Copies of this chain bind each other. A is one copy, B any other.
Amino acid sequence: MSNIQVVPPLEPEASEAVAPCCPPLTERPFTAEEAERTAKMFKALGDPVRLRLFSSIASHEGGEACVCDISDVGVSQPTVSHHLKKLKEAGLLTSERRGTWVYYRVEPSVLAAMGRLLTTTTAATATTTTA
């Protein structure tokens, strides 16, 4: 009982790097600061390999997966690791080591916040006037 090792959480700054923010894109023009924060999340999903890895993890049982579960995307293991790091830095994934493997988990709240950004609040009705 007294031998509890306090293991520091694995790269805690990753999930804090990009907090969900900002109103829907259709509500009002983004400020420079809002755009900076939000662009990071979109950019992280703007790569086909990252998107495949992300959907593999997000759709895996319990919303989490081990690297061993998701390496079937046709790139090398170092490349997989690189992309997982990018997704973590964007706040879209967290990770935890358990024994031999590192498990990656999607952040449902971040995903939901990104979804809200794309909500169409303003009725984008056309006022088509021919000049």
Contacts and interface: CB of A to CB of B under 8 A. Distances in A.
A64 B99 contact: no
Contact of A74 (B32, B61, B74, B106): B32
Contact of A63 (B26, B108, B111): B26
B48 A46 contact: no
Copies of this chain in its oligomeric complex: 2
Contacts of A49: 35
Contact of A48 (B32, B45, B111): B32
A131 B55 contact: no
Nearest to A50: B39
A44 B46 CA distance: 8
A76 interface: no
Given A29-B52, A43-B47, A56-B29, A120 B111 contact: yes
18 contacts: A25-B58, A25-B111, A26-B106, A30-B56, A35-B52, A42-B43, A42-B46, A44-B46, A61-B127, A62-B126, A62-B127, A63-B125, A64-B126, A98-B130, A106-B124, A108-B120, A108-B124, A112-B118
Interface of A: 25-32, 35-36, 38-40, 42-52, 54-56, 58-59, 61-64, 70, 73-74, 98-101, 105-106, 108, 111-112, 114-115, 118-120, 122-127, 129-131
